[in-house]
Amino acid sequence: MKRWLILLWFVISPVHAELSYELLTQLTESPERLQGEFKQEKYLAEFDITLLSSGVFNYQRNEFIRWQTLTPIENELIMKPDSITSSQGGDDLISLKADHDPATKVLTEIFFAVLTADWYALSEYFFANGDYQNNRDWQVKLTPRKPTLKQAINQVELSGDTLMRKVVLHEKNGDITRIDFLNLQQ
């Protein structure tokens, strides 16, 4: 079904930009569940500093993503298709419902799509442009299609092999978030 949908996508879309989505679908796996560690570097353009953090994550496709920052602060972010909850030591700090808030919906959809390599969902939001080597390693640059998304994101760079290994998010205000995925286990 999904493959068919992607094919349909090609039929009805301009050809040049979307080619890499097809390729990416072939190159990458989209595991049902995945866990691993992450390292995050967040560059704040405003202050010209980089905030480092690290932790662990796991996900169950289409169900949830659990993103647990361990250092320097402890924080747990649980994303479900219809909500985001951020908590610290059992206290809910943020809880957003997607049906209330379209921005939340877009955000969770994109984050889900990035993490689970859901190229079809990403193709809804981004134009893709990329290349690959050794029939294995690939890099792709995503630029937002919708003006609403352009308000927040300049570009997303993704790279990996059969799995996603690195995400670089360029925000509009110049902030850059780099996330490396390590010790991935299916």
Partner 1 sequence: MIYRLLASKVAAIVWGLLVITLLCLAWIKQPAIDTSMMSLLPESQQQPLVREASAQMGQRFAERLIILISGQDKQQLQQATQTIAERYQQIPEVDSVVWQIDDQQIEQSQHASDAYRYVLLTEKMRLALQNNTEAVAKRALSMIYSPMQMGGQNLKADPFGLSSAWRSAQSPLINIEMDEQGYLRLPGDNGFTNLLIIQLKGDAFSINVQQAVLSVFDELTTRFSEQDIELLPSGLLVHADAGARQAEKEISTIGLGSLAGILILMLWVFRRVRLVTVLLLPIVVGCAVATAVVMLVFERVHIVTFAFGAGLIGVAIDYALHFICERQRHQLVLPRIMPGLFLGLFSSVLAYAAIAMTPFPGLRQMAVFSAVGLIAAWLTVVIALPRLTQNDPLKELSAAKRLQQWQAACPALAKNNGFKYGLAILTIMAIAIIWTGKTEDDIRLLQTSPAHLLEQETRIQTRLGLNSSTQFLLIPCDQLEQCLQQEEAIRPWLSQLVDNGNLVQFSLLADRLPSLKRQESNAYLVETLYNAELKKLFTTLNLTDAAATQAMEMMQYGLANRLTAEQLPNNGLGGILSSQIIHTDHNGLATMVSLTASQPRQLAQQLSLKKHFPELVLVDQVEAISSLMADYRQQIMIWIALAYLLLFVILFSRYKLAAWRIIMPPMLASLFTLSILMLCLPGINLFHIMALILVLGIGLDMGIFLTETQQAANTWLAVTLSVITSLLAFGLLSLSQTPVLQHFGLTVFLGLAMIWILTTLLRQPSQGVE
169 binds partner 1 (CB under 8 A): yes
Among all chains, which residue has been given the structure tokens 């967040």? 42
CB of residue 185 to partner 1, shortest distance in Å: 19
CB of residue 134 to partner 1, shortest distance in Å: 29
- What is the sign of the dihedral through the CA atoms of 104, 167, 149 and 51? positive
17 binds partner 1 (CB under 8 A): no
The rounded distance, in Å, linking the Cα atoms of 41 and 159 is 16
Distances in Å between the alpha carbon of 87 and those of 57, 73, 129? 15, 11, 36
Nearer to partner 1, 28 or 104 (CB): 104
150 binds partner 1 (CB under 8 A): yes
> How are strands ordered across the β-sheet holding 64-71?
91-97, 83-88, 75-80, 64-71, 49-60, 33-44, 176-185, 164-171, 153-160, 137-144, 126-133
- Is residue 61 within 8 A of residue 30, CB to CB? The reply is yes
Look at residue 37 and give its three-state secondary structure: strand
CB of residue 6 to partner 1, shortest distance in Å: 16
CB of residue 136 to partner 1, shortest distance in Å: 26
- Candidate segments 15-23, 28-36, 47-55, 158-166, binder of partner 1 by CB under 8 A: 47-55
The rounded distance, in Å, linking the Cα atoms of 36 and 20 is 26
List all residues 6 or more positions away from 85 whose beta carbon is below 8 Å from its beta carbon: 77, 78, 92, 94, 95, 96
96 binds partner 1 (CB under 8 A): yes
CB of residue 96 to partner 1, shortest distance in Å: 6
Q: Applying CB under 8 A, which of residues 62, 151, 185, 186 lies at the interface with partner 1? A: 151
139 binds partner 1 (CB under 8 A): no
Q: Which residues bind partner 1 (CB under 8 A)?
A: 12, 38, 40, 42, 44, 46-47, 49, 51, 53, 67, 69, 72-73, 75, 77, 86, 88, 91, 93-94, 96, 100-104, 107, 110-111, 144-148, 150-153, 169, 171-173, 177, 179
